[in-house]
Amino acid sequence: MSEILWPAGYVPGFTENYVSNEVIVTGLTVEQVWPLLNIPACWPEYYPNSADVRFYDGKGPALEAGVRFFFTTFGFPVEAQVVEHVPPVPGQPARVAWHGWAGDDAETRLDVHHAWLIEELSGGRLRILTQETQKGKPALALAQDPTNPMINGHQLWLNGLVAAARRAAG
Q: What does the pLDDT look like over 89-99, one tens digit per residue?
A: 998 999 999 99
Q: Which CATH superfamily is domain 17-169 in?
A: START domain (3.30.530.20)
How far is it, in rounded angstroms, from Cα 161 to Cα 165?
6
Decide: 41 and 61 in contact? Cβ < 8 Å.
yes
The domain segmentation of the chain, as residue ranges, is 17-169
Decide: 12 and 147 in contact? Cβ < 8 Å.
no
Phi-psi region of 132 (alpha: psi -120 to 50; beta: other; left: phi over 0): beta
Q: CA nearest 80: which of 34, 46, 106, 114?
A: 114
If DSSP codes are grouped into helix, strand and coil, which group holds residue 168? helix
pLDDT at 170 over 90: no
Could you tell me the pTM of the whole model?
0.96
User: Per-residue pLDDT tens for 133-144?
Assistant: 999 999 999 999
